[in-house]
Each structure stands twice: as structure tokens, then as C-alpha cells.
Structure 1
Amino acid sequence: MGNREDERLRFLRRTAAREKLWKNGDKIVVAVSGGPDSMALLHMLSQVAESEGISLVAAHANHGFRPESAEEAVVVQSFSERLGVECEQISLNMPAYIEETGMNGQEASRLRRYVFLHETAARHGAGVIALAHHADDQAETVMMRIIRGTGLGGLAAIAMKRTEKNVELIRPLLRMKKTDLLQYCSDYDIPYCLDGSNEKRDYFRNVVRLDVLPYLSQFNPQLPDSLWRLAELASSEDDWMDREAKRLFDELASFEPEGVALQAEALNGLHVALQRRLIKLILNYLSEEADSVTFDHIETIRAAAAPGARSTWRLDAGGGVRFLREYGRLSFIRPKQVGAGENGGYAYEVPAGATRIEVKEFGSVMMFAAEDVSAGRSPAPAGREEACFDIDKLKFPLVIRSRKPGDRMQILGLNGSKKVQDMFVDGKVPPSLRERYPLLCDAAGRLLWVPGIRRSGHALVERGKTKGVLRVRIEHE
């Protein structure tokens, strides 16, 4: 037994070192239900605690569902004392909580149990919570997700380590089999309690464990091992895909006042797997309900972004996020921003002598600079983001405002006027921006300039005649 004991504890240490489950000086809260898995975990950690430089606190939640729950609490307390480990316990009135919340029993119990574990960690200054999931749990979880339908992330199943509320959740036994843990309990005379509800077929997991896996194991006696290896492979590849998607997000996407945007061409240049992962990552950034996003949602977005698709799309992306394609621009709009600009316009007065007006609705600033050109110079705008006007032909105060129904402007170089709406279409201004796009007018209500698109024929600068010029520039924050 000595060699077997040494082998199992060495395996635990190797796993912890390879996966960086803890470090010297860590305090670990060990979730102990009273079953063989968690009792074995508590014992194993107690055996390596001194050499690993860690300290332990046992935590047991009595859910109050079964008559034997009180006995389990006593067993956990007694065993913790035998090991010299402090034990925290809580009695939960789960039937009342379930009636109050309407949650199912398993989910409600899990929620309350994790709250208790985090509270215990906070009280003891612990940065790690150890859970007793093992390789058989992993195999069951993979099979459950295959049956229900899943992707690569779902096949990764239970993570060896993850962060939740600034605490590391670790599963040191995830690569050990249930039979090994039962043998360990026998070898060390470790007491444990058996939960009779695990034999009932009321829960999907129990059906998978009791019926589905034994039946399929007829065709592959090593099925649990195969499922465990599948989870290992999926976890590594899922991690790589996540890292690559985050790198691409930083490279291709941009945060904007209304959400996140990127170019359709950039998305279409990626492998289809990374397209899906990047879309899901963006939705995760924008919504706490991104888990409700389906495969069909993501495929619809990919279709809308594809070459040859309509130049404008607007659809529900799932998770409370709206997706828009506007020419080559793809936008993912946060719920609180959907419809920005549709509940009323804006207007900013620009008095003579003003130098800077912030247009927060458009995320831009309009700069004004008066220039003396009496020496005969004829200044020209530096680009489409600038316009120059004869200052003496302007009627102040000028006004920066959003568009109004029927807005028209006398276009430089054209006879007659043109609708602002048509200019937006010609300039490929995304529909989501049109209600917030700033227009420059004078005090008489004449439209002077649609920044970046067209200038009116009013207040032209004339060589030899113009004495003062107002140079206007728009800058985007």
C-alpha cells in the first residue's frame, strides 16, 4: 500500500505543479460534501499541505434535503478534527429557497453552495477553493454535452482551474478515476457518506452515468478514458482559439460609443472557425447574456458579413445585442445604445470667436479658427475634414445640429439643392450614424457643411475679395 500511496500523492503534486493549482503560502478552502470524492480530496491535501506550504479550511454545506444530511455534517466535522483542519459549516433551508425563487433543486443548491464557499474564502483570506470533481465526472459532462449539442468549448467540459470573483477554483482530482478514490478511502480508513439520490434517474446526469455510459461502453470499454482525453484535447485547443480570437479582437475591432465595430473584409479574411470565435468574443464583451447566443445567430451574422451580401443589414444578434452591417462596416450595438439619436436631436450654438465645440452625441469635436487673408492669400481646406468660409458672409451664431426631416443644402458646383439623406447615401454613411451626424448651419438656417461629405455654395472664399476666413475642422475622439 505504501508504494500505491506514494504514487497517488506524487501524482497529485505533479498535477498541481504542472497546472499551477497553488503556490507556497496559499490558504485553500476545500469543499467537502461528505462523499468519498471530497473526503479523499481533503485527506490528500492534508497529507501534502506541509511539504507544499499550503494551509486548509474545510467547508461543508448542509442543504437539508435528506434526513441523513445532519449525519453527514457530523462525519465531515469529525474527520476534519481528526486531520487537524478547521471546518466551517452552514445549514441551508433549500426547500424554502427553491419555493421562493422557482429555481430547480440542483441549480439552486449549486448557487447557494458556491456563495457559501466564496464567503468562507473571504472570511479566511483564502485565494483558492478546491473542488472534488474527478475524471468520471468529466466523462459524464462531456457525454451530456454531446447529447445536448455543443461546440469545442463545451467539449472542454470541466476546467482544471478557473477564476471566479477573484478566487481560483481548482479541481486537483480531475485526472483521477472514481475507483482510485474509493480505493484511497479504503486504504486510509477514510469515512464517507453515500447520497442515495445519485441512484435515482430523476436527473439527466444520473441517467448518463447509470445507463448511457455503461451501454456505450459495450462498444468501447475504454469510453470514459476516451471522453476524458477528448476533454483534454478540446480544452487545449479551445484555449488556443480563445487566445487567437483575443489577439484578433485587439488587432481588428475597435470600441466605439455605440459598441464594437470592425470591417467586413477583415472578418471575411479569417478562417471560418476564427470568424465564429471572434463574433462570440465580441458578444461576450457586450452582453452578460451571451450564453443565450446560438449557432444560428452566429451563422446569420457571418452570412450578413459575407462578400455579396446586402450592403445594409440589421438583426438581433442574441444576448440583447443588435448587429448592423452598413456597407463594409460591421457594428455590434450595446442594448443601452440601440436607437441612440432616435429620441430627439441636438443643437449647439457657435458664437463668433468660438474655437472649440464638443459634439458628444457623435463622439467628435468641431474646431474653429479665424484667419486674416487681407494680404491676398486664398486658403484651401486640408482635406474633407475641413472647410473654409468667408467669415464676413456668415451670419452668427452658427449652429451645429443633427439632421431634420427634409434637410436640403445648396451644393457647391451644382444648380439647385440636394437632400441630406441622399448625400448620406452617396457618402455611404452608416444608417446608425445618420441621426447623430453633425451638420453646420448659420443663424439664418442655411446648411453650410456636411463634414467629410459636401460643402454648400454659400460664403465662398474669393481671392482678392475675402479679408477673413473661418477655417472649420472636425476631429473624432
Structure 2
Amino acid sequence: MKESTLHRLTEQVRRLGRQEQLWSPGDVIVVAVSGGVDSTVLLHIMKEIAGDEALGLQLICAHLHHGLRGDEADRDAEFVRELAGRLGIPFDLGHADVRNYMKETGKSLELAAREKRYEYLHQVAERCGASSIALAHHADDQAETVMMRVLRGSGPSGLSGMRPKRREKNVELIRPLLRIYKTDLLLACRESELPFVEDSSNQDKEFTRNSVRLDVLPFLGQYNGQLPESLNRLAELAAAEDDYLQQEASKTYAELVRKEDEVLSYAVPLFTTLHVALQRRLIKLILNYLPLSTEERDFVKVEAIRQGTIQDRPTTWSLDLGGGVKCIREYDLIRFIPPAVESRIPHHTYLVEQFPAEVPIEGMDQSLRMTQLGAGWDSVLAKAEGNNEAIFDADELVYPLTVRSRIPGDAMKVMGLNGSKKVKDIFIDAKIPPSLRSRIPIITDAAGRILWIPGVRRSAVAAVNPRTTSVVHMVLIPR
């Protein structure tokens, strides 16, 4: 006896279910059913698979009344209710006011209906403790999706189309029919005499998807008689390569990206060694971890960040990414700063009235230690290296000393320079990132003279000389 089309499709879905791990024993699955041919076949197939005692799947048939098509929508809801009843599957009916939602959000009818539908399905899944939501998208839907993304200028991720399984809001969205074409679904209904309803809005070319299905694909089909199959093959190839690149981007993220106080950052020299495809993927992955809406993670922003990173000339710039998130380049460091992170440290002032003293530096994991030395101080001078410590003639200072935040207009007398130099310019010359400048303390004496900018530069004030008998030694130490 010839195998029925419905049975053949059921076995095809079983195989896809095993390959893609669409379900596990004991899963509760919400099946989205509109009453059309696609979802009607899906519900029959899922009912057959759920009958396998080894799996023990539990199904809920869910239908959303969008409030758009009057009596026709009422008819569809009643049809799905009766279908679920005949199959012995629990039925859930939801209602949405899509037109009112459109007015509130300014979104198109197509997008508004989709968002309310998914919102409802997620509510059913949460209420019923479901692990997944089964959607009736099939291979022709996949071809339409890929073509729509081609027309929008999508990248490789978009060309991969819909996936058989995708996690969203702690629930798996599964598409068991994704490898099956519409002709087979219609044939299954005819052979098995499965009734279904027709949605008149599927012929409305005001909807982009309908226009692509009814006009664009048939027109292009003149040049490729296997266009839907070709687009599905493109999606499959793009999906595999997209997965590979995503894995590589995740590895690169772990190696290059640092996180501190919710701020993500990477070093420019390491980034520039990456292939351009991996550079874009890394930036896109970083943006996915930030509180941005989907619309704000677009190619233009990714490319602006990438071009700003690879430019040869060390520089500083700031790019508003939306949602209060900023991307900042500070010489050889790129930083992504969410809105909750304050880049400035509150102003602070500490008086140092006796030695030894140890002052913690606000916003940094270092402290400033100050000691006064008499005889033998020259041995300390011999050991002093770099900008992390400094020695001053103790008799030339005016006490008490002060450790404070930088103030606009601060200037310091610099060795070898007649007059003073603004602290801002000193920071620029030393390539100190702007976000760190407010964290670096300024040490002054009671005469208001800046003595030292720890880790950056000391002043010409109170320089030691052959007549020096005692010194004040300042050094940065880890906390």
C-alpha cells in the first residue's frame, strides 16, 4: 500500500526533531494554530508524534483572535477550537486589539499583529509551563524570509533565515515544518481529507511578505525554476557559516574583551590583527551584551565603531549608540559604557598633616604612601624609577599637603619649562584616557602649588639638591 503524504511528512518531522533536538521526553509544547493549511497539518503531525509513549509530549493548541477580520476571524477561532477538540488537545483562545496597539506604537499592521501574536504565545507558554512553542513556518516561508532580507541588504546572519530552533524569553521557538514545502502540505490535506480555513488577508499585497510571495518570487522564478529551493539552500549554507563565525567570535570575545564595572573594552592593537569579518562579528557580539534595542544594533553603527578602531592615528572619540550607551575610544582602548555607569568620580580632598600617611585613591585600586626621611634619603632617590614615585625637598614644601581631585584650569610648573603647563595638556601629552583623568589625584602643598600627578609627572617644585637634608617620599602602591 502506498504511504500517505501525511505519514511521510510525519516521519520527516520526526527526523528533524531528532537532528535538531526540537523536543525532549515530557516536554509541554504550545502549538500555534491559525487554522490554515500549514498549522492544521502541523497540529496533526504533532499529535501523532506526541502519541509516542517514549516521548510523552503534552500539547496545547493556541489560537489568537487579532480582532481584525470580523466574522471571518470568529469562524477561524471556532474552527481551531473544534479541531483541537476532535484531536483531544487542550485549547487556548486569546484576543488582541491589534489596531489599537498600532495607534499606541505607530507600528505597521504587519509588525503589530506579529508582536501581539508572539506576546500571546509566550503568555500561554508561561501559564502552562511549556518548554517550547511550535510554529508552522515551512520551506516556502523560509524562501520568502531570505528574499525579504536580501531586499533589505541583510548580512550573512540574516541570510541564514529562520532556524529550526531558537531560544526566546526562556522558551524554545521550534519550526518542525521548516524543511517541507507548501505543495506537500496541501497534498497531505487533500489525501487525508483534512479541512482547513483560508485567511483572506494572505492575499493582501499591502503586507510585505504577501507581496514578496505573490509578486517578487513568481517574477524571479522566470529566471530560476527552482528559486525556493535555491533560497533554502542559501539559508542552510549561510546558517552553517554563521554558526562557525559566531563560535570564533565567542572565542575572540573571551580572549580580547575585558569587563570592569559593567564597562566592556578591548585593545586596539589586538583588534586590528583580526580578519575584517571577525572584527564586525566581535563588535556585534559586544552590542548584543549591551542594553540596546534590535534597531540600534545595525550595520552602520557596527561599521562606525570598526572604522573608528582601525584608523591609524591614535585619537579619542565618542559615539552615541542609543539607549544611553556610548562607545568611546581613548587612544589604544575602545570602551562601551552603559548608562548606569558613571565615568566621573565625585570630587574629593584629603589633608596630609603628619607622616607617614597612606591615602586611598578614589575609583582606583591603588593608594598613595607618603613618608619623611632624614639621613640616608639619597638611597631612596637611587631606587626611584618611573612616574610611580617622587621625592621632594622637605624644607621647600609648605604644609599641610593635600591630595585632591583635578580642578578645571589646574596648571603645574614643569621642569625645563619656563612657566606652567595646564594639567589637561599634560594628560593629553601622556595619552591618559579622558575617562581616567578625573580619577588621577593631584598632590599640592599649602601654597597651592601642584607637586605631583601620581603615575604621570612631577613638578619642578622642591627639587632635591646637594643642600637637601630631608625629603618627602611619595609612592603609588597597590591596595
SS of residue matched to 1:219: coil
**One-letter code of the match for 1:439?**
I
- What does residue range 139-158 of structure 1 map to in structure 2 within 5 Å? 139-158=143-162
Aligned pair in 2 of structure 1 residues 4, 96: CA closer, same or farther (>3 Å)?
closer
Structure 1 range deviating more: 430-439 or 102-111: 430-439
**Are residues 1:201 and 2:205 paired?**
yes
Q: How far apart are 1:299 and its partner, in Å?
A: 3.2
- What does residue range 220-239 of structure 1 map to in structure 2 within 5 Å? 220-239=224-243
Q: How far apart are 1:64 and its partner, in Å?
A: 1.7
What is the CA–CA distance in structure 2 between the aligned matches of 1:24 and 1:381, rounded to whole Å? Answer: 69
Aligned pair in 2 of structure 1 residues 143, 462: CA closer, same or farther (>3 Å)?
same
**Are residues 1:191 and 2:192 paired?**
no
What is the CA–CA distance in structure 2 between the aligned matches of 1:474 and 1:291, rounded to whole Å? Answer: 46
What is the CA–CA distance in structure 1 between the aligned matches of 2:474 and 2:466, rounded to whole Å? Answer: 15
CA contact (8 A) 1:377 1:463 kept: no
**One-letter code of the match for 2:427?**
F
Choose the corresponding residue for 2:266, options 224, 248, 262.
262
CA contact (8 A) 1:325 1:331 kept: yes
- What does residue range 73-472 of structure 1 map to in structure 2 within 5 Å? 73-257=77-261, 259-289=263-293, 291-309=295-313, 311-317=315-321, 321-335=325-339, 340-341=343-344, 346-351=347-352, 352=354, 355-360=358-363, 363-368=364-369, 370=371, 378-379=379-380, 380-381=383-384, 383-387=386-390, 395-396=399-400, 398-405=402-409, 407-411=410-414, 416-458=419-461, 470-472=473-475
Structure 1 range deviating more: 388-397 or 420-429: 388-397
Please give the per-residue CA displacement for 1:210-248, whole angstroms capped at 9, x wherever unaligned.
111111111111100000111111111112212211221
SS of residue matched to 1:359: coil
What is the CA–CA distance in structure 2 between the aligned matches of 1:254 and 1:408, rounded to whole Å? Answer: 34
What is the CA–CA distance in structure 2 between the aligned matches of 1:98 and 1:418, rounded to whole Å? Answer: 60
Normalised by the size of structure 1, how large is the TM-score?
0.88
Partner in structure 2 of residue 30 of structure 1 = 31
What is the CA–CA distance in structure 2 between the aligned matches of 1:308 and 1:418, rounded to whole Å? Answer: 28
State the aligned residue count. 470
Please give the per-residue CA displacement for 1:428-465, whole angstroms capped at 9, x wherever unaligned.
11234334433233444332321221123446678997
CA contact (8 A) 1:438 1:451 kept: yes
Structure 1 range deviating more: 16-25 or 379-388: 379-388
**One-letter code of the match for 2:88?**
G
SS of residue matched to 2:239: helix
Structure 1 range deviating more: 142-151 or 366-375: 366-375
Aligned pair in 2 of structure 1 residues 92, 102: CA closer, same or farther (>3 Å)?
same
Normalised by the size of structure 2, how large is the TM-score?
0.88
Q: Which runs of 5+ in 1 are unaligned?
A: none
What is the CA–CA distance in structure 2 between the aligned matches of 1:35 and 1:321, rounded to whole Å? Answer: 43
What is the CA–CA distance in structure 1 between the aligned matches of 2:85 and 2:273, rounded to whole Å? Answer: 61
SS of residue matched to 2:64: strand
Partner in structure 2 of residue 46 of structure 1 = 47
Structure 1 range deviating more: 241-250 or 123-132: 241-250
What is the CA–CA distance in structure 2 between the aligned matches of 1:179 and 1:209, rounded to whole Å? Answer: 14
Q: How far apart are 1:347 and its partner, in Å?
A: 1.7
Structure 1 range deviating more: 153-162 or 395-404: 395-404
CA contact (8 A) 2:4 2:191 kept: no
Q: How far apart are 1:250 and its partner, in Å?
A: 1.9
Q: How far apart are 1:193 and its partner, in Å?
A: 0.9
Q: How far apart are 1:204 and its partner, in Å?
A: 1.4
CA contact (8 A) 1:304 1:310 kept: no
User: Sequence identity, in percent?
Assistant: 44
SS of residue matched to 2:265: strand
Structure 1 range deviating more: 93-102 or 108-117: 93-102
CA contact (8 A) 1:378 1:463 kept: no
What is the CA–CA distance in structure 2 between the aligned matches of 1:83 and 1:373, rounded to whole Å? Answer: 96
Q: How far apart are 1:94 and its partner, in Å?
A: 2.5
CA contact (8 A) 2:29 2:131 kept: yes
**One-letter code of the match for 1:424?**
F
Please give the per-residue CA displacement for 1:32-81, whole angstroms capped at 9, x wherever unaligned.
11111111111111101132331111111111211211111111111111
Structure 1 range deviating more: 178-187 or 222-231: 178-187
Choose the corresponding residue for 1:58, options 26, 37, 61.
61
**One-letter code of the match for 2:237?**
L
Q: Which runs of 5+ in 2 are unaligned?
A: none
CA contact (8 A) 2:166 2:173 kept: yes
SS of residue matched to 1:205: helix
